[in-house]
Amino acid sequence: MKIIKDKVTKLSFVALLITVTAAMFYAPTASAHGEKSQAAFMRMRTIHWYDLNWSKDTVPVNDTMTVTGKFHVFAGWPETVDKPEISFLNIGIPGPVFIRAGSWIGGQLVPRSVSLELGETYEFKVLLKARRPGDWHVHSMMNVKGGGPIIGPGKWVTITGSMSNFTNPITTLTGQTIDLETWNLGNTYFWHTFWYVFGIAYVAYWARKPMFIPRIIAVDAGKADSLITPLDKKVGLAFGVAAIGIVAATMVSTNEQYPVTTPLQAGLLRGMKPIELPAPTVSVKVEDATYRVPGRAMQMTLTITNNGDSSIRLGEFNTAGVRFLDAAVHVDETGYPDDLLAEEGLTVSDNSPLAPGQTRTINVTASDAAWEVYRLADLIYDPDSRFAGLLFFTDESGNRQMVTVDAPLIPSFS
């Protein structure tokens, strides 16, 4: 007997461990810091985020901030990734540290998935309301069905204050204002407790009497039917009838209390409005491109033709959110994240203004530790070793225009 008792105790302990493990089995994804581990070609050849702006560096709880900018859906979208026909504008934060109070593409609210067109550029805005204090990395992010999450640049934002002060007031169509942070919580606890106690009461009725050993002996002796008394059946019936009755009654009373309810809303949003960018007046031809591994630099030979009516200079090369600038042409004043900004990372062999109608071949070097830090250099190990990015030209009056480039990349190890 002692041995069996020990065994049962041991078994209970093992079961308890299994339970704890099982309960810990799943926690929703909290982190979005996948940006460096995502394949370089995914970041360079899918969605190009630019003109990004994080409206604040520090936000108190309950205050809002915005992440705004544009994204270009790259025309040379990789074959291996599903096209962005079903995509969702997300925000890369570690769980609900902010709530997403709104998100827009081209002025249209996008709480649902959308359809995006290759080669188009869209304007976006995400409105965030601070909820949980801490330092958080806030990334722009697009989920693409069949392609996974495409994480854009991230910036550190600090939330101050206390989460206990957070409220989320919402006015319903029935005219009530509720706090969505805690709405329905007491009701949920009440009903779950109610049914739990109801279930325990039923088990308790049977647990009053001897359970396992005497009963298995009786069953094995062929006296199973003697174990259930007429009273047992009556009590069981009462529990069954009560369960059905309570469900029916609460269903009716719930419908009386909440006469207006609607089904969950879902469905794909089509027809997102892209930005109507004027046709570029600069044409760029990539003659060759090499990546120098020891120098952490990419060199391109470009032939540029200015078909516009104002002379232009090359100010920026942007790939995967890393910005290489020629400080003499363009200086960033938006507070772009330091680690993604090479303020003097762009060297151009001849960056004097290129007059209208002229053509010039230039050598461009984009060098920064970011190639390694953000593992963009891994590109040279990709099966289809191509690079892609955005070139920004600035004209005399300071207007910027964007030209995409997409060409093979040859590594150089010396």
Partner 1 sequence: MSASQSAVRSRAEAVKVSRTFDWLILFALFFIILGGYHVHFMLTGGDWDFWTDWKDRRLWVTVLPIVGITFPAAVQAVLWWRYRLPFGAIVSVLGLLFGEWVNRYFNFWGWTYFPVNFVFPSQFVPGAIVLDVVLLLTNSMIITAVIGGLAYGLLFYPGNWPVMAPLHIPVEYNGMMMTLADLQGYHYVRTGTPEYIRMVEKGTLRTFGKDVAPVSAFFSGFVSIIIYFLWHFFGKWFGSTAFTQAA
> Residue from 36, 229, 246, 295 that binds partner 1 (CB under 8 A)?
246
End-to-end CA distance of the chain: 78
| 232 binds partner 1, rule: CB under 8 A | yes
Q: Under rule CB under 8 A, how many of the chain's residues touch partner 1?
A: 116
Return the closest-CA partner of residue 361 out of 412, 300, 405: 300
Name the segment binding partner 1 (CB under 8 A); options: 17-25, 43-51, 285-293, 392-400.
17-25
x/- track of binding to partner 1 for residues 104-133 (CB under 8 A):
-----x-xxx-----------------xx-
| 64 binds partner 1, rule: CB under 8 A | no
CA dist 108 and 272 (Å) reads: 7
Given the complex with Cu ion, which of 157 and 364 has the nearer CB atom?
Answer: 157
Q: Which residue has the tokens 């290129």?
A: 354
- Residues with Cβ within 8 Å of 407's Cβ and at least 6 positions away in sequence, in order, are 286, 288, 289, 300, 386, 387, 388
Q: Please spell the DSSP secondary structure of 240-251, one letter per residue.
A: HHHHHHHHHHHH
Given the complex with Cu ion, which of 37 and 257 has the nearer CB atom?
Answer: 37
CA dist 229 and 227 (Å) reads: 6
Q: Name residues contacting partner 1, limited to 167-186 (CB under 8 A).
A: 168, 170-174, 176, 178, 180-185
Name the segment binding partner 1 (CB under 8 A); options: 70-78, 164-172, 334-342, 405-413.
164-172
Least Å distance, CB 49 to partner 1, is: 16
> Residue from 57, 75, 135, 192 that binds partner 1 (CB under 8 A)?
192
Q: Name residues contacting Cu ion, limited to 347-386 (CB under 5 A).
A: none
CA dist 257 and 39 (Å) reads: 52
Return the closest-CA partner of residue 367 out of 342, 341, 348, 400: 342
Least Å distance, CB 318 to partner 1, is: 24
DSSP state letter for 279: P
CA dist 146 and 143 (Å) reads: 9
Given the complex with Cu ion, which of 38 and 66 has the nearer CB atom?
Answer: 38
CA gyration radius, the chain: 31
Given the complex with partner 1, which of 203 and 279 has the nearer CB atom?
Answer: 203
> Residue from 154, 308, 315, 321 that binds Cu ion (CB under 5 A)?
154
> Residue from 75, 244, 328, 355 that binds partner 1 (CB under 8 A)?
244
| 95 binds partner 1, rule: CB under 8 A | yes
Contacts 24+ apart (CB under 8 A), 329-333: 329/394, 330/392, 330/394, 330/400
User: Order of strands across the sheet with 386-395?
Assistant: 341-342, 322-325, 312-319, 386-395, 400-408
> Residue from 75, 224, 277, 331 that binds partner 1 (CB under 8 A)?
224
Name the segment binding partner 1 (CB under 8 A); options: 63-71, 141-149, 325-333, 388-396.
141-149
Q: Under rule CB under 5 A, how many of the chain's residues touch Cu ion?
A: 3
* Crossing angle (nearest 10°) for helices 185-207 and 230-257: 170
Name the segment binding partner 1 (CB under 8 A); options: 233-241, 285-293, 382-390, 397-405.
233-241
Return the closest-CA partner of residue 70 out of 122, 21, 131: 122
Q: Name residues contacting partner 1, limited to 259-288 (CB under 8 A).
A: 260-266, 268
| 137 binds Cu ion, rule: CB under 5 A | yes
CA dist 57 and 337 (Å) reads: 11
Question: Nearest-CB residue to Cu ion?
Answer: 137
Name the segment binding partner 1 (CB under 8 A); options: 37-45, 86-94, 335-343, 385-393.
86-94
Residue 176 is which amino acid?
Q
| 413 binds partner 1, rule: CB under 8 A | no
Name the segment binding partner 1 (CB under 8 A); options: 38-46, 140-148, 395-403, 404-412.
140-148
Least Å distance, CB 22 to partner 1, is: 4
Beta strand ranges found along 6-97 (DSSP E): 47-54, 58-60, 64-73, 87-92
Among partner 1, Cu ion, none, residue 254 binds (CB under 5-8 Å by kind):
partner 1
Q: Name residues contacting Cu ion, limited to 31-90 (CB under 5 A).
A: 33
Instruction: With residue 155 as reference, give the H or E element that holds it.
Output: strand 148-160
